[in-house]
Structure 1
Amino acid sequence: MVKIALDPTPLHHSHSLLEIPAKVAELGYDHLQLTPHRDFIPFFRHPKADDDLVDAFAAACREARVEIASVLPVLRWSGPDEESRRAAVKQWKRVIEITARLGVGVINTEFSGRPELQEESERQFYWSMEELLPIIEREGIQVYIDPHPDDFVEDGLEALRVIRGLNSSNVGLAYVACHTFHYGGDMAEIMAAAGPTLGLVHIADTFDHRRSHGLRYITNPPGTAARVHQHLKIGDGDVDWDSFFDGLGQLGFFDRSDTIAVSSVFAEDEDVDAVSRYQREQIRNRIIAASRA
């Protein structure tokens, strides 16, 4: 059965690292996604957790009866700057060590390159993976990658091509629902093409920035290359949730023990308790409905 996990990012502002597992349990979840945290694995920097802190966090999870479903680093392993890329590979090696020490088998991440330097970033990605993939495979870790808005690959189908180029069953696609309209918008086609390589999803809503002839959002200065999306609760945006859950159901996603569905709402930190509980119930009910269908 699919694991339903909470992304605790909204709790980072109100709870210490070691308080988070108990709060996740209080909100009704038995799994969490370990997202970038300044005391553990911060964005774009070397991990700050030593083995003692890793063990303390694992103990806090055991005490709360919460499992870590996945570890999510965001590092510049595809960055076109070579020094930054080499640093990110070093950082990745420590992330893999931490993940293995926690007893977690899944890492999900982003490509973390630059859209204006697509060819250069893709080249850097493959250089990084030439060094990291043997370690990932040796540790038996599954890596799922999200083609994040403002990355060198944003289109979902193109992301699958880049992943396929690695020729490794240890790497697959992470589908983030609120990135749908940057992925190219054809959810069903991307899911069908991904098949069993789709092992992790993030569940949050967003508005379709392409609507109203591209004027759904008005940004200044005109023509800015900024990408805009939200992480709203289910029903507050334009994502077709029936198609999303039906598509996953057709893949057998919900029946697998190795898949993960993460609630990742970041837009309402002031109401995190109610939003997290709402998301949990929505996800569970929609999984049941899709499974029956």
Structure 2
Amino acid sequence: MKIALDPTPFHHDYELLEFPRLAAELGYQYLQLTPHRDFIPFFNHPRADDDLVAQFRKACEDAHVGIASVLPVLRWSGPDEDAREAAVRNWKRVIQITVDLGVNVINTEFSGRPERAEESECAFFRSMEELVPIFEREGIDVRIDPHPDDFVEDGLEALRIIRGVNSPNIGMVYVACHSFHMRGHEGATMGDLIRKAATVLRLVHVADTMDHHRSHGLRYITNPPGNPVRVHQHLKIGDGDVDWDDFFSALADIDFYDRPETVMVSSVFAEDENAHEVSRYQLATMTDYINKHRK
């Protein structure tokens, strides 16, 4: 298993090419390359040319930091066909950048729209028809997160859709701070979802959040009542309601720590003013939990 830093909290204070050195200084051997305005922005075509890709790869080599995964967020499941076709074009450039970086893991989100779930699922599989052969040809392992406000948010249903793609190159991401959105109408617990996913689950994000179902749904209050919002946070371990012993013990049950293809990412976005301290805390705390539960 690789343990990686998500450098998103540092996007406003550091240049892109400084991220590898920063990750090393914080104690990480790997980073996750998340959406960045100078490289692969949210929803749009990548901004990086071949020269910048080569510069970033060299910066990683110079810092002795690997890239555990590349994370694009594109509208490949959007029910608007023009936007979906554009997303597929953008995906093809993302794949080429990933290959040129020497990386074989992409993690992403289902996207689409929950209020148009059936149309979005159709769009997703239309995109899969075109992209899966490229993923398989290039040896890219794509891992997908049922993000709050995607066309599928239920963890078990997300697992079913991933299996329905019927490709060994498509796996699942479990984001701990999305847990309270993922349990769905079947009421699956975090441990249930992790164990059911088994080897399909190949990447996890570690961040805490409050359980918005608690206090009879009044843990968070939005106005006017009934807003169709999805609320979650990306806090450091211990600042929310996630049961971390359940999380780390379930990962141990599926041999997550001992599989060479798996990735664990520190994914805290809520405390940018303390990002250095929080990143070191996350690494130390994740390591302690792993050592506690490793079989």
The alignment's TM-score, normalised by the length of structure 2, stands at 0.98
Q: What is the letter of the counterpart of residue 71 of structure 1? A: V
Task: For residue 257 of structure 1, report the CA deviation from its aligned partner.
Answer: 1.1
Q: Deviations over 1:35-94 (max 9, x none)?
A: 000000000000000110000000000011100000000000000100000000000000
Q: What is the letter of the counterpart of residue 72 of structure 2? A: P
Q: What is the letter of the counterpart of residue 246 of structure 1? A: S
Does the alignment pair 1:286 with 2:285? Answer: no
Q: What is the letter of the counterpart of residue 25 of structure 1? A: A
Q: What is the letter of the counterpart of residue 224 of structure 2? A: P
User: Which whole-Å CA distance do the structure 1 matches of 2:47 and 2:287 have between them?
Assistant: 35
Corresponding residue number in structure 2 for 1:130: 129
Corresponding residue number in structure 1 for 2:10: 11
Out of 201, 212, 215, the position equivalent to 2:204 is 201
User: Which whole-Å CA distance do the structure 1 matches of 2:253 and 2:164 have between them?
Assistant: 25
Corresponding residue number in structure 1 for 2:267: 264
1:181 is paired with a residue of what secondary structure? helix
Corresponding residue number in structure 1 for 2:49: 50
Corresponding residue number in structure 2 for 1:120: 119
Q: Deviations over 1:166-220 (max 9, x none)?
A: 1111101100000000001611221121110100000000000000111010001
Corresponding residue number in structure 1 for 2:223: 220
User: Which whole-Å CA distance do the structure 2 matches of 1:16 and 1:279 have between them?
Assistant: 22
Alignment length (residue pairs): 291
Task: For residue 221 of structure 1, report the CA deviation from its aligned partner.
Answer: 1.2
Once superposed, what is the RMSD of the aligned Cα atoms? 0.6
Q: What is the letter of the counterpart of residue 207 of structure 1? A: M
User: Which whole-Å CA distance do the structure 1 matches of 2:238 and 2:195 have between them?
Assistant: 24
- My pick for the range that moved more, 123-132 or 282-291, is 282-291
User: Which whole-Å CA distance do the structure 2 matches of 1:271 and 1:239 have between them?
Assistant: 21
Q: Deviations over 1:224-279 (max 9, x none)?
A: 00100000000000000000000000000001111000000000000011000000
5+ unaligned residues in a row in structure 1: which ranges? none
User: Which whole-Å CA distance do the structure 2 matches of 1:131 and 1:85 have between them?
Assistant: 12
Q: Deviations over 1:122-160 (max 9, x none)?
A: 000000010000000001110110000001000000001
User: Which whole-Å CA distance do the structure 1 matches of 2:25 and 2:191 have between them?
Assistant: 35
Does the alignment pair 1:229 with 2:226? Answer: no
Which consecutive aligned stretches of 4+ in structure 1 deviate over 6 angstroms post-superposition?
A: none
The alignment's TM-score, normalised by the length of structure 1, stands at 0.99
